[in-house]
Structure 1
Amino acid sequence: MCYPDCLSLQKTPWDMATLKTVLHPKINKKGTKDYRLAIRLTVNRKRSYYHLGQKVEPKFWDAPGEKVKSSHSRHKQLNRLIRKKYDEIEDVIFELEASKHDYTAKQVIDSIRKNTKKLSFFELADEHIEDLTKAKNHNRAISDKSKINRLKEFAKNRNLTFEEIDEDLLKKMKIYLRNTVGLSERSVMNVFVMIRLLYNSAISKKIVDQKFYPFGRDKIKIKYPQTIKIGLNESEIRNIENLDLKQGSAIWHTRNVFLFSFYLAGIRISDVLRMRWSYIVGDRLYYKMSKNDKADSLRLPTAVNDILAYYIEDKRTSSDYIFPELKTIPVQDSKAIYTRIKTSIKRLNDNLAKIANQAEINKKITNHIARHSFGNIAGDKVSPQMLQKLYRHTHLSTTIGYQGNFIHKNADEALDAIINFSK
């Protein structure tokens, strides 16, 4: 498969571009290795891989010949695929060298990916996850990978093309996810949103034609079911505030975190745990919301300052975390931070269940309920525009839709006016 005389324009041995077809190992979820068929390009001793979207067991691989052995049932098809893609990569290199352009291995492989019209769904999905990981967006990467794996499970790891992901397949997949896996309607819609995102990306990259798009009018519609958002009322918040908890205990700390979020318009728990002392300037809090990178500033209420007073003794530097959960993790280790936040939220939610019991609250309380509680108590007391700022929503329509869950006064009065005709 290798052509040693094909790249003769390099001036020194270490500048040579070399192509080699290999089995590229990758650790799967079970902790074992999958061997993926790939073409490896090395330029200036830096490598880049073009994966062919096929797995081959080592026993079927002829490493010296760089081809699939004839004992494999699909050896002709796979070797034809190798030759075709090998030639495409080689042609790109010839053109670059003929025009005396400098190039890297990654640039060549990226150009092949952009020009590939038959990139599989899972190949593009792998690129998507890899891009998120490189950007250290571990939260999104893990979430999206989980959704992609749902389709892999349904397809039994078959390497689907985008054309194969049609309305019929998605309808069957929905039945499988609801009835066999037991996912909620909302979770199924989240999987569909992930598929739609990759499908739109494939269309923009000319991987698949628009006519195969399975979503939209008269096709697969993505519609989230309405959910009932229940927040705490003023009396219930006071019950939590007035609990006699031992200072320094885990449940005492949990209450502080919950109320810190509530007092600041329901800041998301992941952002609360990321709070640093440097975010506080004078009597104001300045921070960026991790979900949409939206910056905001809020004046610190007295109740928040009272909470901060308990934690300032453990302040080591101005950039130190306010709450203890992340103090032992290096700032640059984003993956470890994500993992710690995830485990901390579970522990805090467990403690909130104990708080609800002690406060005699017959509602399920989680950290996110702090946000719902703020919305419930705010009701229609504040203009939607101001609530939009407090919630850090990008669009006013989001605020109006969200707050609609908690405004019942007008509907209640209208109902009373109708049914009380006999009084």
Structure 2
Amino acid sequence: MATEVLTTIFHDTRRARKDGTFPVKLKITYNRERKYYPTKYSLSEEDFLKTQEPNPKKKYREIRISLNAIEQSAIEVIEKLPAFSFPEFERRFKNSVANDDVFAAFAHSAERLREAGQIRTAQSYDHASNSLLSFLNKAHTGRNKGMSLSEASSQREQLQRRKKPLPFSAVTPEFLQEYERWMLAGGKSITTVGIYLRNLRTLFNDAISNGDLHQDLYPFGKRKYQIPSGKNVKKALSMEEIGKIFDYGPRHEREARARDLWLFSYLCNGMNMKDIAKARYRQLAGDIITFVRSKTERATRQEQRKIVVTLVPEALQIIDRWGTKPTHPEAYIFPILRDGLSPEEEIKAINQAIKTINSYMKGIAQRLGIEKNVSTYAARHSFSTALKRGGVPTACISEYLGHSSEKTTQSYLDSFEDDTRRKHAALLTAFKSES
């Protein structure tokens, strides 16, 4: 089949455009019949010749790689046809080209993530896609100062209507550098930039893995574009600061509940709020609670690592104060969620709980003279740091946190005995012995 059909990249110099350039097309020849299919490129004769040089300069090399990818995609379509015909080739080639749209890939991935219940990750993909669209339109989709919610929504709708396909081949290292500068100039943090670009990198990896994109078009890595990483800002509180939070006298019930849930996270292996919200009474057995991190339960389904937490008396008291009543095995321990919620509703409820806790904890920190950011994430970081200060081996801390990245240490570690866990858990309230 491939020997009967000829493909080539054709510079159509028969008619110049207004800017003096000529369109670059894909030419297909079959049984002496020729058909031409447009690409996004229009070049002068001099520029086209530069793309054909043995070692073209960077700009022209990227254009040639992109054009070669288009031709290769056509060849792959032709080879899969049982019998060649232009109509069938055009139908399949059109679908193949549709797979070369970054925005379509974002939407498809977000949809799959939602179907899998990974709502936060899906939302992250949506935010990354909207940011990229804003960059291409050189306008912000976010709600600017003085802009009402309806105005912000109208602005996003206008941008969506102006959305055009973005070929993977157009996302070059230079494109990414400019996009990064644009985000930083617009007030995005290095952390946010990293999240958006890692999502984009995942789309490239998926496209290459699926055979929809040639490896040569991959813009990430050494000597290409490297995703920035945020500085590792220390978020752990000192034992003195944690002691102040323990001893703090809440002004009202809402503040007391927020403070106690923060402390529960700290006392329970840095358990994050999603896992706290989803914990049920059946996971409790005396002074032990066992869970699998929601963040990793899908990614490591074959080797799910259960986290076993020894509940110190203070943690048990928090459950007694704020736990759902009456208790039964399938009831949520804390009344943050309720049965029957959709994944989207669950995330909304958890996010609201985090927002409420962080708001109250910020006020508590100010009243206690703690200048650090006392967020729910700080509780997790403080847990691991407290154990490290107490001399607990890194391998133990890794297991308590449920990290899967400590492969070297975890490969030869078994679960720790209950008395060892109790000893380590006692370190979390070491400030009492200091007072």
Q: TM-score range by the shorter chain?
A: 0.5 to 0.7
2:154 is the counterpart of 1:154:
no
Q: Which runs of 5+ in 2 are unaligned?
A: 1-76, 84-90, 138-162, 298-304, 411-435
- Give the Å deviation of 1:390: 1.0
Q: Given residue 379 of structure 2, which amino acid in structure 1 is its aligned partner?
A: A
Gap change, CA 1:339 and 1:369, over 3 Å in 2 = same
Within the candidate set 387, 392, 396, 1:382 is matched to: 392
Aligned-pair identity (%)? 24
Matched, 1:164 2:170: yes
- Give the AA of the match of 2:111: E
Aligned to 1:187: 192
Root-mean-square deviation over aligned CA pairs: 3.0
The question of 1:129 aligning with 2:110 is answered yes
Q: What pairs with 1:3-402 in structure 2 (closer than 5 Å)?
A: 116-119=96-99, 120-156=101-137, 157-179=163-185, 181-245=186-250, 249-293=253-297, 294-312=305-323, 314-327=325-338, 330-380=339-389, 381-396=391-406
Change (3 A) 1:113 1:281: farther
TM-score by length of 1: 0.64
SS at match of 1:172: helix
Q: Equivalents in 1 of 2:407, 2:182: separation in Å? A: 34
What's the CA shift for 1:392?
Answer: 0.9
Provide the rounded CA distance (Å) in 1 between the counterparts of 2:132 and 2:322. 46
User: In the alignment, residue 184 of structure 1 is paired with which amino acid?
Assistant: S
Q: Structure 1: any 5+ residue segments left out of the alignment?
A: 1-87, 95-110, 401-423
Code of the residue aligned with 1:283 in structure 2: it is D
Contact 1:132 1:141 in 2 (8 A): yes
Question: After superposition, what is the alpha-carbon deviation per residue over 1:270-322, rounded to whole angstroms, capped at 9, x for unaligned?
Answer: 21222221211233101110111242222222221111121346235321112
Cα distance change of structure 1 residues 313 and 290 upon mapping to structure 2, 3 Å threshold? closer
Q: Deviations over 1:31-59 (max 9, x none)?
A: xxxxxxxxxxxxxxxxxxxxxxxxxxxxx
C-alpha distance in structure 1 between counterparts of 2:392 and 2:404, whole Å:
18
Q: By how many angstroms is 1:197 displaced?
A: 0.5
Would you say the 8 A contact 1:121–1:160 is kept in 2?
yes
- Per-residue CA deviation, residues 82-107 of structure 1 (Å, 9 max, x unaligned), is xxxxxx9xx9999xxxxxxxxxxxxx
Alpha carbons 1:384, 1:396 under 8 Å: kept: no
What is the Cα deviation at residue 221 of structure 1? Answer: 0.9
Taking structure 2 as the reference length, what is the TM-score of the superposition? 0.62
Cα 1:167–1:246 change in 2 (3 A) is: closer
For 1:227 and 1:289, the matched residues in 2 are separated by: 23
